Chain A
Amino acid sequence: MTVLSGKDLPRDGEMLQGVALHARLEATWRREPGFWGWLTTVDHKDVARRYIVTALIFLALGGVLALAMRLQLAKPENALMGPDRYNQIFTMHGTTMMFLFAVPVMEAMSVFLVPLMIGTRAISFPRLNAFSYWVYLSGGLLLWVAFVLNVGPDVGWFAYPPLAGPEYGTGKRADVWAQMVTFTEVAALCISVEIVATILKQRAPGMTLARMPVFVWVSLVVSLMVIFSMPAVTLASGFLLSDRLVGTHFFNPFEHGDALLWQHLFWFFGHPEVYIIFLPGAGFVSEIVATFSRRPVFAYPAVVLAVVAIGLLAFGLWVHHMFATGLPRLGYSFFTAASMAVAIPSGIQIFCWIATMWSGRPRFEVPMLWVVGFIVTFVLGGITGVMLASVPLDLQLHDTYFVVAHFHYVLIGGAVFPLLGAFAYWFPKFTGRMMGDGLGRLSFWITFVGFHLTFAPMHWTGVMGMPRRVYTYPVGMGWDQLNLLSTAGAFVLATGVLLFLVNAAVSIARGRVSGPNPWDAAGLEWATSSPPPPYNFAHIPVVSSASPLWDNRHHLPVMTGLRVDDRELLLTTVMEAKPDLREPSPEPTIWPLVAAAATGGTFVASIFTPWAVVIGAVPVAAALTFWFWPKVAPTPEPVAE
């Protein structure tokens, strides 16, 4: 094999541009044709799109479960379903929404948008990215197949032992839950590593840390949070599985284990998890507000620092889920203060977004409606959050419907509203077409009204003493009408979300063709066509401000010289984003899928026998060996400036 010298290689530049360049890049970066190409693709946009579609299917399934619960609770002593079914349903609802919808969909948005926003051709570790999707899908299928077979978990999405332990959580239900967590942990960790590497090393030349879009900052912070918080739940679910499968006693108080150990480990992950879901929402809002207010976001450094502050504080308040467990009282004060302190960076963000509108010229297109709905709802959720941070108040309100109201305000209001706004905003980038405006506005208003109709009454239901997770309640507690109202609201809410999805489906087929930058936005993702080609950008853009498309309205400077006959990326320095190295990006391959299948088989079989881990290691190792088999010797080249 001959090593080609730098001069002989085809590169983008003066000699090669326009149609000829696109054809060369297309040939190099496109996925293989047909179904095989669908299975082997490592394009971050393909993976992100299927992540998003899958997560939306889980959203719909979780929503149907929510409606089933609301029907059961519509009246006291309702006989629609028994406790066994109801307990499975509320466990499945929480687990599906947290592990299979919210976290994956937010990560998928990062997987799609981050490489485009920072001006690179591909995500780092694209095969790992493909692998993570298949692992996630396997985890989701495990959970839902188990539920359909009536072995769905029934111990709550938090699975406290000893209820989830071997003695009281009989059968395989809790194992299914714990193993599903393993799947989603693996998937989330894979993505987080990719995102961190992509952001730190693949930014377009000139995009210093201080010029990164807020959403990219959010993705970086959230990925680091996943990397630091997921190991806690990995450990916890591993302990739980080994308690259940091989008779260890980590959580068995009668053999010197401790039931509370689980709660510490679970919430050390569980509380950051909430911000892992909410912070991307804040990122979406920052982008949308800037575009539609026709100015960069107000006080960018303050917004970014607030994101980082929330990411740090998130690790210091897990005990506020445990105020009723009887830990030392004085230590609680620290966690009260830390929980309250989250309101400061959140307050800064809210101020900055409103200030952006105030000093800009806000246009209330559909994405902006979701932003306004978000601010109103999130502030109300923040209020109840401050209340729940107080130990005496929490001891009354904890585990009541007040808390159910609170976290739906922050999770739906704080994360799902911005997400739906983000779908409407980036829909042209995903599909090349605009989302319908009329139906978009209608779906916003129905969802907004339905949401408050459902969850506002729950504040009162909780104050009136209704605990969470009850499959029925007696007559005469004063909860009847409030519950009926919530049930009615839930159907309005579901109608709104359904209309949103219908609008999306119709618009994919018949929406107006959008062009590269329909909103006249400032970010690099709008510098390429909609949807972007497999290689994202013909030439790598060069950035000299935080709003590149606004500051270079007529001609975006680019950098040339990347190979077009091979998948080549430009790596830049971490802080200043100066060109640093050339890096080959992996080709499509089937091995991530095979490795995921082998991993999934191992995980599922290890519910039944510990030997599965030993035997399953063989196919996993084989698949990884083929995955990493070196094909050609890399050609070392210096970067030509």
Chain B
Amino acid sequence: MRRRLLPLLPLLLVGSACSVDGIQSVGGRDGQGGAAIADLFGIFLVATLLFAAVVAAFLGAAALRRRGRRADGIEDPEGSGTERPLKTGLIVWIAAVAIGLFGLTLASHLTDRSMARALPDPASALRIEIVANQWWWDVRYHFRDPSRDVRTANELHLPAGVPAHVTLKSNDVIHSFWVPNLAGKQDLIPGRITDLMLIPRKTGVYRGQCAEFCGMQHAHMALDVTVEPREAFERWRAHNAAPAVPPTNALTRAGYDYFTTRECSTCHAIAGTPASGQVAPDLTHFASRRSIAAGTLPMSRGHIYAWIADPQGPKPGNAMPYIGLEADELHAVAAYLESLK
């Protein structure tokens, strides 16, 4: 039944059919949850539009039926002969609406239950912990062997076909974790622990975004998601579990010195160096990410310069202060950060 309705979808909702290609869209079928929801959306769309069509037809007919007949007298409802059939119509209509709604409620409930049943045991899934902050995501991968653990920020790498159990916490206000191509959203609430199961089906690059208003920079709290084959994920994991590469030339050495001895390391950590601040994104493999400042700027040399020189320009209100680096310091820090592949 569901499968047969699906081909109708593009006809009915051209826009959402196009959006299946989007990196942040509800129509996506790239994750197990997302696909089930897209199916359910189709069922709801067809059923409700049918009812809307009935109402529109009835309204149109009622408006046109006696058009042009003007009379100042008052209709006698009982004498006109339309009252009885209309009352029967009302009862049929109530029954139809009730049955339709019952069907939709059932479809919704069954989808919800089947999605819940299809979830694997969290113990066997990849364990990820995400802590939301104003306005960035702190991401940790936990393994049985802690030496394999990974800490990163504002990005998520997932092996295709492998369930990932994401534990969600917040350090400050309420946020909402949402990667629409993979699954529905889940709030992160201070004082509570929530969780979500992601089961990516297709490799690709997606985008997630905070969906609960969380203050000044709610608009700039995004997350890059990469779903890749298992081997590629394992390579990424091994690389990201390793400490940062040491500086290789005079310029990056100067950047390293500045970073580890001056303002930067108060907040930021880089594994394998003395920089161990815990209140800002971990930068160990900063340059391997796709964007800067939780999706605010694409990763590029120019944007690294722009961000360090004036973090309040592209993302006003964020916690990173204006430092006022001299030109040589700026060159050095930018070069060092760019070397953190």
Bound Cα distance A474, B107 (Å): 36
Interface residues of B in 131-184 (CB under 8 A from A): 134, 172-174, 176, 178, 180, 183-184
Q: CB < 8 Å: which of A87, A359, A372, A389 contacts B59?
A: A372
Kindly provide the distance from the CB of B82 to the nearest chain A CB, expressed in whole angstroms: 4
Is there an interface contact between A396 and B72, defined as CB atoms closer than 8 Å? no
Is there an interface contact between A398 and B48, defined as CB atoms closer than 8 Å? no
Interface residues of B in 53-97 (CB under 8 A from A): 55-56, 58-59, 61-63, 65-67, 69-77, 80, 82-83, 86-87, 89-90, 93-94, 97
| A392-B111 CB under 8 A given contacts A83-B316, A302-B90 | yes
Bound Cα distance A362, B71 (Å): 10
- A396 neighbours in B (Cβ, 8 Å): 26, 34, 37, 41, 180, 184-185
Bound Cα distance A347, B87 (Å): 14
Q: CB < 8 Å: which of B56, B94, B115 contacts A392?
A: B115
Kindly provide the distance from the CB of A590 to the nearest chain B CB, expressed in whole angstroms: 43
Contact with B along A468-497 (1 / 0, CB 8 A): 111111100110000000000000000000
Is there an interface contact between A326 and B55, defined as CB atoms closer than 8 Å? no
- B180 neighbours in A (Cβ, 8 Å): 396, 465
Contact with A along B4-37 (1 / 0, CB 8 A): 0000000001011011001111110000011011
Is there an interface contact between A259 and B174, defined as CB atoms closer than 8 Å? yes
* Residue B211 is within 8 A (CB to CB) of chain A in the complex: yes
Is there an interface contact between B74 and A295, defined as CB atoms closer than 8 Å? yes
* Residue A233 is within 8 A (CB to CB) of chain B in the complex: no
Kindly provide the distance from the CB of A4 to the nearest chain B CB, expressed in whole angstroms: 45
Is there an interface contact between A473 and B316, defined as CB atoms closer than 8 Å? no
Is there an interface contact between B44 and A390, defined as CB atoms closer than 8 Å? yes
A interface SS class: helix
Q: CB < 8 Å: which of A156, A329, A364, A474 contacts B112?
A: A329
Contact with A along B164-208 (1 / 0, CB 8 A): 000000001110101010011111011110110000000000010
* Residue B230 is within 8 A (CB to CB) of chain A in the complex: no
Is there an interface contact between A391 and B112, defined as CB atoms closer than 8 Å? yes
- B183 neighbours in A (Cβ, 8 Å): 395
Bound Cα distance A402, B44 (Å): 15
Is there an interface contact between A393 and B44, defined as CB atoms closer than 8 Å? yes
Is there an interface contact between B190 and A397, defined as CB atoms closer than 8 Å? no
- B173 neighbours in A (Cβ, 8 Å): 160, 162-163, 168
Q: CB < 8 Å: which of A332, A360, A364, A478 contacts B75?
A: A360
Task: Choose, from A123-131, A348-356, A526-534, the stretch at the interface.
Answer: A348-356
Interface residues of B in 210-233 (CB under 8 A from A): 210-219
- A400 neighbours in B (Cβ, 8 Å): 26, 211
* Residue B238 is within 8 A (CB to CB) of chain A in the complex: no
* Residue A50 is within 8 A (CB to CB) of chain B in the complex: no
* Residue A80 is within 8 A (CB to CB) of chain B in the complex: no
- B82 neighbours in A (Cβ, 8 Å): 358-359
Nearest CB in chain A to that of B183: its residue:
A395
* Residue B108 is within 8 A (CB to CB) of chain A in the complex: yes
Is there an interface contact between A390 and B174, defined as CB atoms closer than 8 Å? no
Number of A positions contacting B (CB below 8 A): 92
- A168 neighbours in B (Cβ, 8 Å): 134, 172-173, 215
Task: Choose, from B98-106, B241-249, B257-265, the stretch at the interface.
Answer: B98-106
* Residue A581 is within 8 A (CB to CB) of chain B in the complex: no
- A350 neighbours in B (Cβ, 8 Å): 55
Kindly provide the distance from the CB of A325 to the nearest chain B CB, expressed in whole angstroms: 5
* Residue B52 is within 8 A (CB to CB) of chain A in the complex: yes
- A393 neighbours in B (Cβ, 8 Å): 37, 40-41, 44, 108
Bound Cα distance A83, B87 (Å): 55
Is there an interface contact between A469 and B213, defined as CB atoms closer than 8 Å? yes
Kindly provide the distance from the CB of A165 to the nearest chain B CB, expressed in whole angstroms: 8
Is there an interface contact between B105 and A379, defined as CB atoms closer than 8 Å? no
Is there an interface contact between B27 and A336, defined as CB atoms closer than 8 Å? no
- A387 neighbours in B (Cβ, 8 Å): 41, 44-45, 48
Is there an interface contact between B73 and A460, defined as CB atoms closer than 8 Å? no
Kindly provide the distance from the CB of B149 to the nearest chain A CB, expressed in whole angstroms: 25
* Residue B341 is within 8 A (CB to CB) of chain A in the complex: no
Most A C-beta atoms less than 10 A away, residue of B77, B98, B295:
B77
* Residue A357 is within 8 A (CB to CB) of chain B in the complex: yes
Q: CB < 8 Å: which of A259, A294, A344 contacts B73?
A: A294
Bound Cα distance A154, B217 (Å): 12
Is there an interface contact between B212 and A464, defined as CB atoms closer than 8 Å? no
* Residue B317 is within 8 A (CB to CB) of chain A in the complex: yes
| A467-B178 CB under 8 A given contacts A361-B71, A520-B72 | yes
Is there an interface contact between A354 and B112, defined as CB atoms closer than 8 Å? no
* Residue B209 is within 8 A (CB to CB) of chain A in the complex: yes
Kindly provide the distance from the CB of B190 to the nearest chain A CB, expressed in whole angstroms: 5
Number of B positions contacting A (CB below 8 A): 96
Bound Cα distance A520, B194 (Å): 61
Most B C-beta atoms less than 10 A away, residue of A325, A464, A469:
A464
Q: CB < 8 Å: which of B33, B62, B218 contacts A354?
A: B62
Is there an interface contact between A340 and B94, defined as CB atoms closer than 8 Å? no
Q: CB < 8 Å: which of A258, A333, A358, A460 contacts B19?
A: A460
Bound Cα distance A299, B89 (Å): 12
- B98 neighbours in A (Cβ, 8 Å): 344
- A379 neighbours in B (Cβ, 8 Å): 51-52, 55-56
Is there an interface contact between A465 and B22, defined as CB atoms closer than 8 Å? yes
Is there an interface contact between B75 and A359, defined as CB atoms closer than 8 Å? yes
| A399-B15 CB under 8 A given contacts A358-B65, A464-B22 | no
Is there an interface contact between A467 and B317, defined as CB atoms closer than 8 Å? no
Q: CB < 8 Å: which of B27, B41, B194 contacts A326?
A: B194
Is there an interface contact between B316 and A82, defined as CB atoms closer than 8 Å? yes
Q: CB < 8 Å: which of A163, A253, A298, A324 contacts B191?
A: A253
Is there an interface contact between B108 and A324, defined as CB atoms closer than 8 Å? no
- A376 neighbours in B (Cβ, 8 Å): 56, 59
* Residue B116 is within 8 A (CB to CB) of chain A in the complex: yes
Is there an interface contact between B211 and A467, defined as CB atoms closer than 8 Å? yes
Is there an interface contact between B15 and A467, defined as CB atoms closer than 8 Å? no
Bound Cα distance A547, B72 (Å): 16
Bound Cα distance A352, B55 (Å): 11
Nearest CB in chain A to that of B295: its residue:
A474
Bound Cα distance A84, B87 (Å): 56
* Residue B325 is within 8 A (CB to CB) of chain A in the complex: no
- B105 neighbours in A (Cβ, 8 Å): 333, 336-337, 340, 390
Q: CB < 8 Å: which of B86, B212, B216 contacts A298?
A: B86
Is there an interface contact between A362 and B108, defined as CB atoms closer than 8 Å? no
Is there an interface contact between A392 and B184, defined as CB atoms closer than 8 Å? yes
* Residue B301 is within 8 A (CB to CB) of chain A in the complex: no
* Residue A375 is within 8 A (CB to CB) of chain B in the complex: yes
Most B C-beta atoms less than 10 A away, residue of A83, A394, A469:
A83
* Residue B49 is within 8 A (CB to CB) of chain A in the complex: yes
Q: CB < 8 Å: which of A326, A329, A391 contacts B187?
A: A326
Is there an interface contact between B211 and A398, defined as CB atoms closer than 8 Å? yes
Bound Cα distance A542, B25 (Å): 62
Nearest CB in chain B to that of A399: its residue:
B211
**Lowest 9 CB-CB distances: which A-B pairs, in order?**
A253-B191, A395-B184, A465-B24, A470-B219, A390-B108, A295-B75, A460-B15, A326-B194, A358-B62
User: A interface vs B, CB < 8 Å?
Assistant: 82-84, 87, 154-156, 160, 162-163, 167-168, 253-254, 258-260, 293-296, 298-299, 302, 324-326, 329, 332-333, 336-337, 340-341, 343-344, 347-348, 350-352, 354-355, 357-364, 372, 375-376, 379-380, 383, 386-387, 389-400, 402, 459-460, 462-465, 467-474, 477-478, 520, 522, 547, 550
Given contacts A387-B48, A464-B24, 9 further A-B contacts (CB under 8 A): A87-B218, A163-B173, A359-B82, A386-B48, A392-B184, A397-B26, A464-B15, A464-B27, A478-B22
28 interchain pairs, CB-CB under 8 A = A83-B219, A162-B172, A162-B173, A295-B75, A298-B77, A299-B87, A326-B192, A333-B112, A348-B90, A348-B93, A351-B89, A355-B62, A355-B86, A357-B59, A358-B58, A358-B62, A358-B82, A359-B75, A361-B75, A379-B51, A379-B52, A395-B183, A395-B186, A396-B185, A398-B185, A464-B19, A465-B22, A473-B219
